[in-house]
């Protein structure tokens, strides 16, 4: 069954690539767009995301925090592992019936282009959940430790049954339920080693099921909406692009050139990582996709040079937060559309703040690497640098080819990744003469697994964001912000704190949609330029998005880097603090955001 699912996921990934690239060719070369291509790709993408989640569950590759688990002794660790599987299984069983009901409700809806029942797409969620239940049971009972499994079942029942019994009491607690379920249930689950996606989902369904009368199939709908968003289709395609660059020798050629420039400098490739994220950020429309395009090319060489894995994902996550304001960022477009601020002005104002934060990260990289031994590294001769540049030129051109395709209208932010795949394939065959066809299937399966793990976190986080909205949390925050005293300076300081928190629980776009129309008029009344305030808000949310323990972007960085989240927690805090200092500078020097506006 597992092998069949891996083959199906690989075929779906290839089908998505073929459909999107065909759409580019038909529209740009023949001026005859395929009207149904995006719709079909969206349907297949949701199935790919769910099958990838199953593969990740089967291979135990869903992101989780294991600091507590790792600190325990043998039997205690196994018991907590069993509890993690049981907690995930409990969440899956709770949402299984609402998922099937949601799919049945979608049967009467007809898709606009293909004119087929929407159940063909929505059915991916209940089918995926059913298969994850089966594989969870396999994982739970495949070993001979049935006694520990029974103890884990009893322990989970001791926690869960009293919560169910207290449901009438929770109905009258109001906002206190947010602390009990989102901080209590989700937070404890994360630290107990439950995979992040299931911990988020468990907190959401327990809040809705035990303290409200809202139907759970609404949460399934929010998951569907989030996981089938066309922009996120760039995530698996850029993940595959990174693996393809490594296989074809493009990554090795690019790293060789960059090493010839900065290899003799302490922490040289860390500077390259900061600069590379600045270059590619915003191209795909997805921060996870941006990171997936960079990490596979740089991480292997950085590990060879002795950079700890935790440091790698910490810097990757920090650069993800740093580059949130670089156009064409979806967050910038969203904030302009919901607040009426000029999108072109936001694009202009976003470059310098991101550069300032990048310089703050580089300063910390220099400090952390100032005593690093260089192992007799010497600066290469200029002819060697020029030779490596000629060899690496096709690889270095890739980010510019991708960005030009978006800017010139050749492809959308989602389709552009297929251009990168075809470009890399041709470079591997014609320029670098490296293409190992035996690695294609494992690469496709790895891409599906990694993408499924990332997308399930995003789906669960979107459901949590919706539940927080329905609780009245957004209205409460707005009332508090409107009643602040102390003028623009205090308002900006509080905004930084508030949006760091919101970024960790709501992500960027949901938080902007909820709070942008409410808080931007308040900022304008206090004399804060709207573009300036937008930069402060977006960068603050970026810190929250990539800050553990709740920031979903941090776990995406760990998944892409294939590093345990525990290893990156300590180093990422230092980088986030450097970013926070940079945000204070942007907040209190408005010219950095508005100096280049007409």
What is the count of structural domains for the chain? 2
Mark whether 221 and 243 lie in a shared domain: no
Q: Among the three residues 393, 418, 437, which one is the final residue of a domain in this structure? A: 437
State residue 348's pLDDT score. Answer: 81
Report how far residue 503's alpha carbon sits from residue 547's, in angstroms, rounded to the nearest whole number.
9
State residue 400's pLDDT score. Answer: 78
154 within domain boundaries: yes
Torsion-angle region of 487 (φ positive above 0: left; ψ -120 to 50: alpha; else: beta): left
576 within domain boundaries: no
Other C-beta atoms closer than 10 Å to the C-beta of 162 total 9
State residue 579's pLDDT score. Answer: 93
Long-range CB contacts for residues 142-147, cutoff 8 Å, separation at least 24: 145/78, 145/82
State residue 102's pLDDT score. Answer: 93
Average pLDDT rounded to a whole number, residues 324-346: 74
49 within domain boundaries: yes
State residue 205's pLDDT score. Answer: 93
> How would you class 375 by CB atoms within 10 Å of its CB: exposed for 0-12, middle for 13-18, buried for 19 or more?
exposed
Report how far residue 286's alpha carbon sits from residue 284's, in angstroms, rounded to the nearest whole number.
5
Other C-beta atoms closer than 10 Å to the C-beta of 352 total 18
Q: Which one, of 20, 547, 509, lies nearest residue 285 by Cα?
A: 509
- Per-residue b/e over 570-592, b at no fewer than 16 CB within 10 Å? ebbebbbebbbebbeebbeebeb
Average pLDDT rounded to a whole number, residues 445-469: 84
DSSP 377-445: --PPPHHHHHHHHHHHHHHHHHHHHHHHHHHTTSS-TTTHHHHHHHHHHHIIIIIS----GGGHHHHHH
State residue 328's pLDDT score. Answer: 60
The model's pTM is 0.76
Average pLDDT rounded to a whole number, residues 72-91: 86
Name the pLDDT band for 227 (thresholds 50, 70, 90).
confident
More confident residue, 71 or 64: 64
Name the pLDDT band for 377 (thresholds 50, 70, 90).
low
More confident residue, 369 or 84: 84
Mark whether 209 and 81 lie in a shared domain: yes
User: Is residue 512 a contact partner of residue 472, using CB atoms and an 8 Å limit?
Assistant: no
Angstrom CA distances, 17 to 335, 416, 570, stand at 30, 10, 38
List pLDDT tens digits, range 467-499: 877 787 767 776 777 777 777 888 889 889 888
Average pLDDT rounded to a whole number, residues 292-303: 77
452 within domain boundaries: no
State residue 47's pLDDT score. Answer: 95
502 within domain boundaries: no
- How remote is the C-alpha of 530 from its chain's centroid? 27
Look up residue 279 and give its two tokens.
């270059």
More confident residue, 259 or 190: 190
586 within domain boundaries: no
State residue 263's pLDDT score. Answer: 64
List pLDDT tens digits, range 237-277: 877 887 787 788 787 787 778 777 776 677 777 888 888 78
Most confident stretch, 352-361, 413-422, 507-516: 352-361
In the DSSP assignment, the letter for residue 263 is T
Quick check: 284 pLDDT over 60? no
Mark whether 248 and 182 lie in a shared domain: no
State residue 95's pLDDT score. Answer: 94
Q: CA end-to-end span of the chain, whole Å?
A: 60
Look up residue 413 and give its two tokens.
């932010």
The percentage of residues in the chain with a pLDDT greater than 90, rounded to a whole number, is 22
Report how far residue 533's alpha carbon sits from residue 529's, in angstroms, rounded to the nearest whole number.
6
Mark whether 175 and 279 lie in a shared domain: no
User: Is residue 236 a contact partner of residue 447, using CB atoms and an 8 Å limit?
Assistant: yes
State residue 79's pLDDT score. Answer: 84
Look up residue 2 and give its two tokens.
């597992």
More confident residue, 520 or 13: 13
List pLDDT tens digits, range 410-426: 777 677 778 888 888 89
485 within domain boundaries: no
Report how far residue 560's alpha carbon sits from residue 315's, in angstroms, rounded to the nearest whole number.
13
State residue 61's pLDDT score. Answer: 82
Residue 458 exposure: Cα atoms within 13 Å on the Cβ side: 31
Q: Among the three residues 228, 249, 281, which one is the final residue of a domain in this structure? A: 228
Report how far residue 9's alpha carbon sits from residue 451's, in angstroms, rounded to the nearest whole number.
11
Quick check: 460 pLDDT over 70? yes
Most confident stretch, 65-74, 220-229, 377-386, 468-477: 220-229
In the DSSP assignment, the letter for residue 110 is B
Name the pLDDT band for 206 (thresholds 50, 70, 90).
very high
State residue 285's pLDDT score. Answer: 54
Residues spanned by the domain of 389: 231-321+360-437
Q: Among the three residues 180, 205, 228, which one is the final residue of a domain in this structure? A: 228
State residue 177's pLDDT score. Answer: 87
Quick check: 550 pLDDT over 90? no
Mark whether 213 and 298 lie in a shared domain: no
Average pLDDT rounded to a whole number, residues 507-528: 73
Mark whether 60 and 198 lie in a shared domain: yes
More confident residue, 300 or 490: 490
């Amino acid at each position: 069954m597992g092998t069949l699912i891996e083959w199906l996921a690989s075929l779906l990934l290839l089908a998505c690539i073929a459909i999107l690239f065909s759409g580019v060719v038909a529209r740009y070369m023949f001026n005859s767009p395929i009207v149904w291509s995006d719709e079909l790709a969206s349907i297949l993408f949701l199935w790919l995301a769910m099958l990838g989640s199953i593969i990740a569950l089967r291979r135990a590759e869903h992101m989780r925090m294991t600091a507590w688990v790792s600190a325990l002794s043998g039997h205690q660790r196994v018991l907590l592992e069993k509890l993690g599987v049981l907690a995930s299984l409990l969440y899956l069983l709770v949402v299984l019936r609402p998922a099937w009901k949601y799919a049945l409700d979608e049967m009467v809806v007809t898709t606009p282009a293909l004119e087929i029942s929407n159940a063909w797409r929505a059915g991916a969620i209940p089918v995926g959940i059913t298969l994850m239940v089966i594989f969870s049971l396999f994982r739970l009972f495949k070993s001979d430790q049935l006694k520990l499994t029974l103890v884990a079942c009893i322990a989970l029942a001791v926690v869960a049954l009293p919560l169910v019994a207290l449901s009438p009491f929770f109905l009258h607690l109001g906002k206190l339920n947010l602390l009990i379920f989102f901080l209590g249930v989700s937070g404890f689950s994360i630290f107990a080693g439950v995979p992040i996606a299931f911990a988020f989902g468990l907190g959401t369904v327990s809040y809705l099921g035990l303290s409200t009368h809202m139907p759970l199939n609404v949460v399934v709908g929010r998951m569907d909406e989030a996981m089938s968003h066309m922009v996120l289709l760039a995530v698996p395609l850029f993940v595959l692009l990174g693996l393809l660059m490594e296989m074809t020798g493009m990554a090795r050629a690019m790293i060789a050139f960059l090493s010839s420039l900065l290899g003799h400098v302490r922490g040289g490739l860390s500077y390259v990582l900061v600069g590379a994220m600045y270059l590619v950020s915003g191209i795909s429309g997805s921060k996870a996709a941006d990171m997936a395009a960079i990490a596979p090319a740089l991480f292997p060489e950085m590990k060879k040079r002795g950079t700890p894995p935790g440091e790698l994902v910490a810097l990757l996550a920090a650069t993800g937060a740093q580059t949130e304001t670089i156009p064409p960022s979806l967050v910038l477009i969203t904030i302009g559309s919901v607040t009426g601020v000029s999108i072109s002005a936001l694009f202009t104002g976003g470059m310098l703040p991101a550069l300032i934060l990048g310089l703050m990260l580089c300063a910390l990289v220099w400090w952390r690497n100032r005593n690093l031994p260089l192992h007799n590294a010497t600066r290469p001769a200029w002819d060697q640098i020029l030779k490596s540049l000629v060899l690496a030129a096709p690889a270095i051109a890739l980010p510019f080819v991708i960005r030009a395709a978006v800017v010139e209208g050749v492809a959308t932010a989602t389709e552009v990744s297929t251009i990168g795949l075809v470009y890399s394939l041709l470079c591997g065959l014609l320029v670098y003469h490296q293409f190992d066809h035996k690695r294609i299937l494992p690469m496709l399966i790895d891409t599906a697994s990694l993408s499924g793990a990332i997308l399930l976190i995003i789906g669960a986080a979107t459901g949590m964001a919706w539940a927080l909205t329905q609780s009245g949390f957004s209205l409460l925050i707005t009332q508090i912000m409107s009643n602040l005293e102390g003028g623009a300076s205090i308002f900006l300081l509080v905004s930084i704190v508030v949006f760091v928190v919101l970024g960790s629980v709501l992500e960027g776009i949901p938080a902007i949609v909820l709070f942008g129309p409410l808080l931007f008029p308040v900022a304008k009344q206090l004399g804060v330029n709207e573009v300036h305030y937008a930069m402060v808000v977006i960068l603050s949310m970026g810190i929250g998005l990539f800050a553990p323990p709740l920031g979903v972007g941090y776990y995406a960085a760990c998944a892409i880097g294939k590093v345990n989240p525990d290893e990156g927690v300590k180093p990422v805090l230092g980088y986030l603090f450097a970013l926070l200092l940079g945000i204070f500078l942007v907040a209190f020097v408005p010219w950095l955001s508005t100096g280049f506006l007409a």
